[in-house]
Structure 1
Amino acid sequence: MRHFLTLRDYTKEEILEILELAAKIKRETKNKVFKDYMPRNTLGMIFEKSSTRTRVSFEVGIYQLGGVGLFLSSNDIQLGRGEPMSDTSRVVSSMVDMVMIRTFAQSKIEEFAKYSKVPVINGLTDEYHPVQLMADYMTIQEAGLEKDLVVSYVGDGNNLAHSWLMLASKLGFELRIATPKGYEVNQNILDEALNFAKESGAKIIIGNDPKEACKDATVITTDTWVSMGQEDEKEKRLKDFDGYIVDKEMMKLGKPNAVFLHCLPAYRGYEVSEDVIEGEESLVFEEAENRLHAQKGVMVWLSRQINK
């Protein structure tokens, strides 16, 4: 059973195959051609973390593929009352065709997948956000920036940074990550990415200087400095991340055609300035829409693996 828990589990060829499928389905969608790739399929969507883009994109996506999405808040199912993840998995996966989970620890989704009878998709954990990276790279492809790609990630060494490490190390492009001291990426994940990079030829640079990281970059990206569950750290984080805002001066350090990406929600004036996110270099809202199309590619690809 193939799951989509982290890009670690996928080859370069598989990632590009999914994105090619996503691009095909997107073209059809834009032409108002809705094929029943997953007729009468049910997607169970378990949310232990709230979301805008994840819920809308998966629910609309499965509908456009011919199926239906079932929203399951942890407050509405027995997980919220302490039922073991393994029990929830065996019950839910016996009634649906696919499951998407947005939760906290990566270990929780991995436990669910272990006992699941159907494919499981990671809609976000504290460690990884693989569906976001599929949308990000799809946006990069559409902008024609894959050749000699240099991505600079500025900010917190969080699930986005970890997912960029996995994507770069699998596809073989240059990735530079600049974080404040004390907010670096997980060392085990970095070591794993560096090992993958030996085969793909990826160049991974880790440091603490955002300006150095952004020099001659083709893509500059960031994420919120205060993620869900970190609200009590807000004042400290705002102080520690001083100088890491992606503003016009930061963007000027990149190549003339450099673009800006952000997974959203964005907090203008903190990790990104208003004039950047609303500027010509911003592909943020194209990127957000591509969550829908990239995730349709993931769902259809996974459904096809079942029949192989």
Structure 2
Amino acid sequence: MRHFLTLRDFTKEEILEIIDIGLKIKNNLKKGVYNKELNMKTLGMIFEKSSTRTRVSFETGMFQLGGHALFLSNRDIHLGRGEPVKDTARVISGMCDMVMIRTFEHSMIEEFASYSKVPVINGLTDSFHPVQLLADYMTLVEYNAHENIVAAYVGDGNNMTHSWMMLAAKLGFELRIATPKGYEVDADILAETQEIAKTSGAKIITTNDPKVAVEGATVVTTDTWTSMGQEDEKEERVKIFKGFMVDEAMMNLAHKDAQFLHCLPAYRGLEVSEDVFEKYADIVFNEAENRLHAQKGLMVWLDKQR
């Protein structure tokens, strides 16, 4: 049995296999073909952090695969009222075939997985957002932008940045990360991914200058400057992140055929300008749709490992 907590635990071949399964499922869906690989299977979805894309994609995905998804907020279950994580894990994994968790502390999902009898999927923690990276890379494959990637991440050193670092380290491409001083990536995760990169041939570069990161990049990506739970920092962050907006001038520094990605929600006029967002809206919303298909590929893959 395998869990999906970070990309750290997966080989390059396994990551590409999951994405390939997702692409095949997506292509079949467009033809009106629904293969019920998870017929009569149940996914328990624990949400300690709310979400649009995570809930809709997992719930719809299980339905399309012939299974059923249960939405469980921390207001609805005993986990939010003091029950130990290990007890909730043993109860839910005794009734469901798979569990997806979207929470704050990464240690919570690690503890849950250690007591779970079924695969556990990280739908987001403060440290990592690996399912989003499956969708991102799937999108690049569809746009033939996955060869010889030079990716630039501009913004906060957050869970998305860490997940890009893991993807680059595993797949062996160049990633340049530009963050303001004081908002850099986690030092331990940087050291870990740079160690993995020694084997894969990846290059992971950090800087405080977004122009240095974007120069010649084939993929430019960003995320909100103020993540959930940081709302009281928004005003200060807007001042500190000045100069880190991905606008037309910044995109002009990238490769002439560069693509822009955003995991959404997008705050125009902050991390991305209105004109850049709308110019690349087709790929961004295909990226959002691919959460559905990449996660179906993941769930089918995990089910086969049991």
With normalisation by structure 2, the TM-score equals 0.99
Task: Give the superposition deviation at 1:146.
Answer: 1.6
Mean CA deviation greater in 25-34 or 281-290: 281-290
Deviations 1:26-83 (A, max 9, x none): 1011111001101100000000000000000000001000100000001000011011
Distance 1:144 1:259 in 2: 10
Q: Are the equivalent residues in 2 in contact too, given 1:245–1:271 (CA < 8 A)?
A: yes
Q: Per the alignment, in what secondary structure is the counterpart of residue 71 of structure 2?
A: strand
Q: Are the equivalent residues in 2 in contact too, given 1:261–1:282 (CA < 8 A)?
A: no
Match of 2:87?
Answer: 87
Task: Map 1:92-103; keep pairs closer than 5 Å.
Answer: 92-103=92-103
Q: Per the alignment, in what secondary structure is the counterpart of residue 76 of structure 1?
A: coil
Distance 2:280 2:161 in 1: 24
Q: Per the alignment, in what secondary structure is the counterpart of residue 45 of structure 1?
A: strand
Task: Map 1:195-206; keep pairs closer than 5 Å.
Answer: 195-206=195-206
Match of 1:164?
Answer: 164
Match of 1:54?
Answer: 54
CA RMSD, Structure 1 to Structure 2 (Å): 0.8
Match of 1:104?
Answer: 104
Q: Per the alignment, in what secondary structure is the counterpart of residue 217 of structure 1?
A: coil
Task: Map 1:221-260; keep pairs closer than 5 Å.
Answer: 221-260=221-260
Match of 2:181?
Answer: 181
What is the identity, as a one-letter code, of the residue corresponding to 2:26?
K
Q: Per the alignment, in what secondary structure is the counterpart of residue 58 of structure 1?
A: helix
Cα 1:62–1:272 shift into 2, 3 Å: same
Q: Are the equivalent residues in 1 in contact too, given 2:101–2:121 (CA < 8 A)?
A: yes
Match of 2:12?
Answer: 12
Match of 2:63?
Answer: 63
Percent identity for Structure 1 against Structure 2: 68
Q: Are the equivalent residues in 1 in contact too, given 2:260–2:280 (CA < 8 A)?
A: no
Q: Which runs of 4+ in 1 moved over 6 A?
A: none
Distance 1:280 1:230 in 2: 27
Match of 2:116?
Answer: 116
Distance 2:218 2:29 in 1: 29
Distance 2:239 2:259 in 1: 27
Q: Per the alignment, in what secondary structure is the counterpart of residue 283 of structure 1?
A: helix
Cα 1:274–1:117 shift into 2, 3 Å: same
Task: Give the superposition deviation at 1:148.
Answer: 1.2
Distance 1:147 1:223 in 2: 23
Q: Are the equivalent residues in 2 in contact too, given 1:223–1:271 (CA < 8 A)?
A: yes
Match of 1:42?
Answer: 42
Match of 1:294?
Answer: 294
Q: Are the equivalent residues in 2 in contact too, given 1:169–1:197 (CA < 8 A)?
A: yes
Task: Give the superposition deviation at 1:282.
Answer: 5.7
Distance 2:129 2:97 in 1: 22
Q: Per the alignment, in what secondary structure is the counterpart of residue 138 of structure 2?
A: helix
Deviations 1:172-205 (A, max 9, x none): 0000000000000000000000010000000111
Q: Are the equivalent residues in 2 in contact too, given 1:259–1:282 (CA < 8 A)?
A: no
Mean CA deviation greater in 142-151 or 115-124: 142-151
Q: Per the alignment, in what secondary structure is the counterpart of residue 72 of structure 1?
A: strand
Q: Are the equivalent residues in 2 in contact too, given 1:48–1:103 (CA < 8 A)?
A: yes
Task: Give the superposition deviation at 1:88.
Answer: 0.3
Match of 1:211?
Answer: 211
Distance 1:283 1:243 in 2: 24
Q: Per the alignment, in what secondary structure is the counterpart of residue 182 of structure 1?
A: coil
What is the identity, as a one-letter code, of the residue corresponding to 2:164?
W
Q: Per the alignment, in what secondary structure is the counterpart of residue 46 of structure 1?
A: strand
Q: Are the equivalent residues in 1 in contact too, given 2:43–2:68 (CA < 8 A)?
A: yes
Deviations 1:83-130 (A, max 9, x none): 111000000000000000000010000000000000000000000000
